[in-house]
Structure 1
Amino acid sequence: MTEDLLNLDHVTRSYSSGGLFARTSFRAVDDVSFGLDASRPEIFAIIGESGSGKTTLARMILNMASASAGTIRFRGKALATIRGRRARLDFMRQVQPIFQNPYEAFNPLKRVDRYLYATAHHLARVSSDRMDSACDQALRQVGLSLAEIRGRFPHELSGGQLQRTAIARALISRPALLVADEPVSMVDASLRMSIVYLFKTLRDEFGMSIVYITHDLATAYYISDRIIIMQKGRVVEAGNARTVLDAPQHPYSKLLKSAVLSADSAGAEETTGPGQGREVMSR
Structure 2
Amino acid sequence: MSGTPILEVDGIGRIYRKGGFFSGSAFTAVDNVSFTMSDTPQVFSIVGESGSGKTTLARMILRLVEPSFGSIRLLGRPLTSRYKDRIDNLEFRRLVQPIFQNPFEAFSAYLPVEDYLRRTAINLKVASSDAEASDVCDRALRSVGLSLERIRGKYIRQFSGGELQRISVARALIPRPKLIVADEPVSMVDASLRMSIVNLFRQIVEEQGVSFIYITHDLSTAYYLSDQVSIMNRGRVVESGVPTQILDHPTQDYTRELMAAIPTVDERWSELAAIDAQYRTQASRSTGATST
TM-score (structure 1 length as normaliser):
0.89
Query: What is residue 90 of structure 1 aligned with on the other side?
Result: 91
Bigger Cα displacement from structure 2, 12-21 vs 181-190? 12-21
Bigger Cα displacement from structure 2, 185-194 vs 245-254? 245-254
Report 1:96-107 matches (<5 A). 96-107=97-108
- Is it true that 1:257 corresponds to 2:246 in the alignment? no
Query: What is residue 17 of structure 1 aligned with on the other side?
Result: 18
* Amino acid in the other structure paired with 1:133: D
Q: Work out whether residues 124 and 172 of structure 1, in 8 Å CA contact, stay in contact via their aligned partners in 2.
A: no
Query: What is residue 67 of structure 2 aligned with on the other side?
Result: 67
Deviation by residue 1:188-223 (Cα, 9 ceiling, x = unmatched): 011100000000001111101100000011110100
Query: What is residue 49 of structure 1 aligned with on the other side?
Result: 49
Cα offset, 1:249, TM superposition: 1.1
Cα offset, 1:125, TM superposition: 2.4
Q: Work out whether residues 261 and 280 of structure 1, in 8 Å CA contact, stay in contact via their aligned partners in 2.
A: no
Cα offset, 1:148, TM superposition: 1.3
Deviation by residue 1:84-130 (Cα, 9 ceiling, x = unmatched): 9x920110001000000001111111111111101111214213232
Tell me the secondary structure at the aligned position of residue 80 of structure 1.
coil
* Amino acid in the other structure paired with 1:46: I
- In the alignment, which of 115, 132, 135 is matched to residue 133 of structure 1? 135
Within 1, Cα distance between the matches of 2:158 and 2:164? 9
Report 1:1-283 matches (<5 A). 1-38=2-39, 40-81=40-81, 87-128=88-129, 129-261=131-263, 278=267, 280=269
Unaligned runs of 5+ in 1: 265-276
- 176 and 21 in structure 1: CA distance in 2 versus 1, 3 angstrom threshold: closer
* Amino acid in the other structure paired with 2:103: P
Within 1, Cα distance between the matches of 2:3 and 2:32? 24
Deviation by residue 1:43-96 (Cα, 9 ceiling, x = unmatched): 000000000000000000011111101001111111124789x92011000100
Cα offset, 1:261, TM superposition: 2.3
Deviation by residue 1:220-275 (Cα, 9 ceiling, x = unmatched): 0100000100001000000111211222110000110011127x8xxxxxxxxxxx
- Where does structure 1 differ by over 6 angstroms across 4 or more consecutive aligned residues? none
TM-score (structure 2 length as normaliser):
0.87
Query: What is residue 273 of structure 1 aligned with on the other side?
Result: none
Within 1, Cα distance between the matches of 2:212 and 2:172? 12
Q: How many residues align?
A: 266
Cα offset, 1:22, TM superposition: 3.0
* Amino acid in the other structure paired with 2:235: G
Unaligned runs of 5+ in 2: 271-292
